[in-house]
Structure 1
Amino acid sequence: MSIPQANVYDPFAAAAAAPQERNPFVPIAWPWRVAILVFVLVYRVLLPGAQQLLWPGSAPLGAERMALDVLYEVVLFAPVIFYRREWGWLHPLLFPSLFALAKAVLTAPGQLLAPLALFYPPPDTPLFHIALEQWAQGDIARAMIKAKLIMVLGLLSYYFGFFLAPRPRVPRVEHFPARAAAPKALLVVGLSLMLFVVFMQMRGGVGAHLASFGLGRFRAVGGLGHFTVLILMGTTAALVWFAVDETTTRKPLFWATAGAVIPISFLLSGSRSSVISTAVLFIIVWMIRTQKVPAARGLVMGVAAIFLVGALGALRESTYTGTVDWTVLTDVNVAEMVAAGQEEMQNRGESGAFVPLVAKVPARVDFLYGQSYLAAIFFFIPRAIWEGKPRGVGPMTNAYIYHDEAMRPGEIITGSGIPPGALGEAYWNFYYPGVVLIYMLHGMFNWWLAALLRRNAAVPAVWVVYALTLLMTPTSTTIVGWLQSIIPGIAIMYWMGVLRRRPRAVLRHAAA
């Protein structure tokens, strides 16, 4: 008996065969696509190019760096240029770049006035990076060119994996109604809040816990990751509840629950972006369900995010003195909060650590040969059991790239981390072949993820998996965070009955 071809699912062919089929990625109307492309063309290509021609400055290789910037923007936004109707806002080819574009605009809204800068010469500042402080201008410029070429190589490898690599099988997930979703979600949230209270008492209170971040987050909470995973299960349970019950937005109890769980991630880890990332998860699920784009709401939330990041950043900085200054949350200085939020988000770009990394590897710093990925492989082992468990690539970047420490095999790095991004980690571990292979695999995985949602567009359980996975990048840090959320999420959905094991006889009949 032959296996039917339906087992190999092509979402693009399916969409072409059924144009009336619901598009779970939320289609982008042509005016939005035109607006995006015009903005990129004007602000990312024409204005920087004109400024380079009018005011070239003294920094070396300016024209070459500008040409590569243009090439990168063209490759990055190629899915918008060659848009297909079966794609949309939430498609893996589009959402990460569009989300980064929106974040960049909200981070620095002053860039919208860039056309005025053409009439005034910019300050002729030399190329500088704190990790390349003693380097000559020409060497820094060549490192920037090398970094940009690797970024283009990574994108092309990703597209190859998405469009041309072998297609993994896409399962069909059966939809089951939830069993007591609200009580079960509230039970998990309640237990996570109780554990949070106990954990804070162990730490001497919220103030003492936050104050300990002044010594560095690893020194403060190293070995306590298992508590974090259990506590954050409340957030995952709230997300599952939101996905399986479309009436939650009309329930004050749900909003009270969301308001309780969203700040916990910051209070646990001191990560300001975690609050925004959690809100984005709920927005993704809402968009899949309603097939709408929260344009006005998204703008309000984006502006609020800048203030929030600035306020939480000021609170975090107050811990460097060993105490917590809670007055920064009440003594609101709008200008300072906006400036702090913009600076914080701008410093989170992966190119910040990426440039010095490619400048020093392998000439001055040896390859890692997969060492940083061990953190993702052994994430499930508590550090209290294995004190020397490998850490992610961020602490290695801080020690070996920024501070030029000698690499010592088996050394436990206790300093803070500076993430170099997925490209930097792939390059540092396996050089150019690593960039090609890892990003090709990432493209294959995202094709499977998109096909999974396309084939199961009406299954809320798949919405949750998709939302938790959409912004995952192939770096050890994000992979660990993804595993810590996706595994509890699937367990919670099985408990609620949204996912159920099918009898083997049924599976054999379906494959026959």
Structure 2
Amino acid sequence: MIRGTRPDSPYLALLPLERGAFIGGLLLIVVLSGIVSFGTESGSHPLLYGAFLVYVGVLALPLFGAFLRTPGLFHPLFFYATWTGLRSLLTGDAVLGATGLEFHRALAGMSRTELELVAAQSFLLEALALAALYVGYGVFRNIRVPRLRQPAQPRRLAKAAVLWMALPTVAVAILSMEAGSLGNLMLQRGIASDQRIAAEIGGQWHYLAGVGTIVPVVWLAFDRNAVKHPVFWMVALFGAFLVFAATGSRSDVIWPFILIALGWALRHRTIPYRTLWVLAGIAIVLVGLLGEFRAATRGAATLADVEFQAEIWSSAQAGYETMVRNSTTNNGQIAVLRSVPDRVDYLLGESYLSIPFVVIPSRLWPGDTPDAAGKLNATYIYGNPLTGIPTGPVGEAYWNFSYAGVVMAFLVFGGVLRFAGSLYRTNSEHPLIIPVYLYTIMALAPGSNEIYNFVHAFVPVIGFYLFVRLVDRVRLGRTSAPRTAGMEGSQ
């Protein structure tokens, strides 16, 4: 844990040592990438590396106090730049900037030089998007937000959490019955998407199977010491198991634990760096391990037929290689930039039309609902309509309205971050605002897939918050007497 006297700030004010670590990390990435780019035969094109430098430079602006008057680790602008930027750099963008791109899954027949020029365009568009985000945040400065009344501290949080877990448990039970068994359900990722259970009975059961992952995040917002309760961790692990059993999604397993660590940091006004490093290592291992499991399920008739080796080092290596591929040879944004408008026309808002349908189960809507960007990318550019390939918010904005779309999308998103930051700053101890703010800065971005993910988390957060209040007020069918806001206890 980095020591130092941290100034009082709801955003967790940035310590000089932390600022230096961030700047030093970016410089190290730039230097090492430059050595590979110019010092090896497999180095990237100079224009690609130059565009990479521009992107890193714009990414680093919130680290400087002259740019951001009150920098903090959870400041919406600072967090978006560092979380999105550093994560992308460490999981593939730095490799792309250093070694270039020899081939791309969706762009067969293109030379290395052509691919690297498209990759350079991608980095420059990312820099333009960040610049528009900063401007948008500054423009929407006069935003007024309400101060919400602090609710009473609930006494039956654990009871509410256990009762809430009945929702995802029932959903997984229904899916298992449709599949024939829980084992058969876990083999679903190994078959084509049009043959999966979701295509027959609707994706709403998969969604309900994941609503348990928000429980520990909201619980921690109510009770800063929730991590000391064994039931808290039992619920967190059970929720992660249910969502993976139903969907096979690796990110849905990992994200709740990252959010738990960040929620703990917000509640305690400190950063558990050692825990975060451990979580990062576990996340990489899980990405590889669960990916190997999914690959092993292809063609398996039963769970007993699945064979894979659970080795920590090989799993970590496989997980990192998967993340690098998604930033390089399987980069959906690069595929969009090269294909639009030469091979594929502009969408002119088509992918954004899917957003209003985010809360409507497809089974309840007559006819097909509009597809989000990832599905459109897989269908029209990759030629595989049975999956989804993320375009990223920048790639989606470009695909819809060219360069103007990128600028406008991120200008507006800058205003959204300003509003979210102001709402949190005014209500930094409110148990509803804390998880909503965390999901906003972690998951929300101006893209249809990202908005889907945010809304799908936002709805159960609201639902579980209200459920906690209800369980705490009702006992054996009778409404209990109201308690004072200062009452202690979380069980």
Q: TM-score range by the shorter chain?
A: 0.7 to 0.9
Determine helix, strand or coil for the equivalent of 2:362: coil
1:375 aligned onto 2:354: yes
Change (3 A) 1:306 1:325: farther
TM-score scaled by length of structure 1: 0.81
Report deviation, 1:206: 2.4
Partners of 1:156 and 1:241 in 2: CA distance: 36
CA deviations on 1:165-212 (whole Å, 9 max, x unpaired) are 364332212211144333222211134323322332222222212322
Partners of 1:388 and 1:282 in 2: CA distance: 37
1:75 aligned onto 2:47: no
Letter in 1 for 2:55: Y
Of 415, 434, 440, which aligns to 2:405?
Answer: 434
Change (3 A) 1:289 1:322: same
Partners of 1:337 and 1:126 in 2: CA distance: 24
Change (3 A) 1:261 1:57: closer
1:90 aligned onto 2:74: yes
1:425 aligned onto 2:408: no
Determine helix, strand or coil for the equivalent of 1:132: coil
**TM alignment of 1:349-388, pairs within 5 A:** 349=327, 352-386=331-365, 387-388=367-368
Aligned to 2:378: 398
Aligned to 1:195: 171
Q: Conserved in 2, the CA contact under 8 Å of 1:58 and 1:126?
A: no
Partners of 2:242 and 2:86 in 1: CA distance: 25
**TM alignment of 1:178-257, pairs within 5 A:** 178-179=153-154, 180-217=156-193, 219-220=195-196, 221-222=198-199, 224-257=202-235
Partners of 1:305 and 1:20 in 2: CA distance: 29
Q: Conserved in 1, the CA contact under 8 Å of 2:377 and 2:391?
A: yes
TM-score scaled by length of structure 2: 0.85
5+ residue gaps, structure 1, are: 1-18, 404-412, 499-512
Aligned to 2:137: 162
Aligned to 2:12: 26
CA deviations on 1:285-324 (whole Å, 9 max, x unpaired) are 1111001111111111111111111110011111222446
Q: Conserved in 2, the CA contact under 8 Å of 1:393 and 1:419?
A: yes
Determine helix, strand or coil for the equivalent of 2:432: helix
Partners of 2:79 and 2:267 in 1: CA distance: 17
Aligned to 1:129: 104
Letter in 2 for 1:169: R
Report deviation, 1:330: 7.9
Letter in 1 for 2:461: G
Report deviation, 1:328: 7.2
Partners of 2:272 and 2:211 in 1: CA distance: 27
Aligned to 1:332: 310
Deviates more, 1:350-359 or 1:392-401: 350-359
Q: Conserved in 2, the CA contact under 8 Å of 1:126 and 1:137?
A: yes
Change (3 A) 1:213 1:332: closer
Partners of 1:216 and 1:91 in 2: CA distance: 42
5+ residue gaps, structure 2, are: 471-491
Partners of 2:43 and 2:166 in 1: CA distance: 60
CA deviations on 1:362-403 (whole Å, 9 max, x unpaired) are 122101111112222112222223341122111211121123
Change (3 A) 1:392 1:218: farther
Change (3 A) 1:167 1:265: farther
Of 135, 144, 149, which aligns to 1:174?
Answer: 149
Letter in 2 for 1:451: S
Change (3 A) 1:455 1:199: same
Report deviation, 1:422: 0.6
Partners of 2:142 and 2:12 in 1: CA distance: 24
Partners of 1:58 and 1:239 in 2: CA distance: 43
Report deviation, 1:76: 0.8
Q: Conserved in 2, the CA contact under 8 Å of 1:218 and 1:416?
A: no
Q: Report percent identity of matched pairs.
A: 27
1:48 aligned onto 2:33: yes
Partners of 1:239 and 1:334 in 2: CA distance: 28
Partners of 2:228 and 2:311 in 1: CA distance: 34
Q: Conserved in 1, the CA contact under 8 Å of 2:220 and 2:260?
A: yes
Change (3 A) 1:294 1:328: farther
Determine helix, strand or coil for the equivalent of 1:93: helix
Deviates more, 1:279-288 or 1:131-140: 131-140
Report deviation, 1:106: 7.0
1:389 aligned onto 2:369: yes
Partners of 2:217 and 2:36 in 1: CA distance: 46
Determine helix, strand or coil for the equivalent of 1:440: helix
Aligned to 2:488: none
Partners of 1:468 and 1:130 in 2: CA distance: 32
Q: Conserved in 2, the CA contact under 8 Å of 1:216 and 1:415?
A: yes
Partners of 1:421 and 1:107 in 2: CA distance: 15
Partners of 2:21 and 2:217 in 1: CA distance: 32
Partners of 2:403 and 2:374 in 1: CA distance: 20
Determine helix, strand or coil for the equivalent of 1:48: helix
Report deviation, 1:439: 0.7
Aligned to 1:408: none
Letter in 1 for 2:352: Y
Partners of 1:304 and 1:486 in 2: CA distance: 26
Determine helix, strand or coil for the equivalent of 2:331: helix
Q: Conserved in 1, the CA contact under 8 Å of 2:336 and 2:381?
A: yes
Aligned to 2:24: 38
Letter in 1 for 2:50: A
Aligned to 1:146: 121
